[in-house]
Amino acid sequence: MAKKKAKKSKRKHSFILTVCFISLAIVFVISLFSIKKEIDERTAEKEKMQEMCDEENSANSELQSIVDSGNKDEYVEKVAREKYGYIKPGDIVYQDVADGE
């Protein structure tokens, strides 16, 4: 009778350990997939940031070439006129009133 009880107890412990190991394996697999997803997101973000960095480096190179060429004053004047609407003394300014505003 004692052997039957010990055998039953062993099976019970074995079943509980098996369930624990399977549960632990499932948790690890789920964690692995979530980490993989995060790595993919970070990789995409890194590529996007690299593209932005390359664009900024290109713009910086263009600006540096303007500074090095000595056309800095012309460039500043061009930007001021285009972006901010500055005019030089003696310039004739025309306004378009055909829009109806």
Q: What is the pTM of this model?
A: 0.51
Q: What is the pLDDT of residue 38?
A: 97
Identify the pLDDT of residue 85: 79
pLDDT value of position 52: 97
Low-confidence stretches of the chain (pLDDT < 50) are none
Cα–Cα distance list, 63 to 31, 51, 71 (Å):
48, 19, 10
Between the CA of residue 45 and those of 25, 36, 52, 58, 59, what are the distances in Å? 30, 14, 11, 20, 21
Phi-psi region of 90 (alpha: psi -120 to 50; beta: other; left: phi over 0): left
